[in-house]
Amino acid sequence: MSIQYFNEDIPFPKLEKRISSNWIKTVIFSEGKIAGDISFVFCSDDYLLDMNKKYLDHDYYTDIITFDYVEDKNINGDIFISIDRVKDNANEFSTPFANELNRILIHGILHLLGYKDKKKNDKKLMTEKEDYYLKVLADS
């Protein structure tokens, strides 16, 4: 079991890896699952756009792409995050960069836990879970 953090074509963002990893493990455990091998890769818009085209046949910018390797209760996956999008989202929603980065980190984990966000009701539940787990982090 490991949670690892990488950067591709950008400087590594400010992140408390130990705190983030403990929080992510707490979220996974509280959802009744087991943390396996999870990698976060921080990159630029262009890097993630190339991946979106290559692997998902989508030609648009996104803040996150999650590759799900979950096996039963073992949560495994690779999560690619555009730091450009995180910065833009933080500005758009008038929230600190660190808060938006934590939201997108947990958003990727929630995808691995089986939560969806394409339909209106699914998106509402996803946002509620994000808000709940962000509060868990703030209270820890």
Give the pLDDT of the chain (140 residues) as one tens digit per residue: 799 999 999 999 999 999 999 999 999 999 999 999 999 999 999 999 999 999 999 999 999 999 999 999 999 999 999 999 999 999 999 999 999 999 999 999 999 999 999 999 999 999 999 999 999 999 98
Amino acid in position 41: V
Token output for 76: 């495994």
State the pLDDT at residue 140: 82
Burial state string for 102-112 with b = 16 or more CB within 10 A and e = fewer than 16: bbbbbbbbbbb
- Rg of the Cα atoms in the chain: 14
Does the structural domain 2-139 have CATH classification 3.40.390.30? yes
The reported pTM is: 0.95
Strands, DSSP E only, in the chain?
A: 2-7, 34-43, 64-68, 74-82
Q: Is 8 left (phi over 0), alpha (psi -120 to 50) or beta?
A: alpha
Which amino acid, one-letter code, is at 14?
A: K
**3-class state of residue 81 by DSSP:** strand
The whole-number pLDDT of residue 1 equals 79
Give 12's DSSP letter. Answer: P
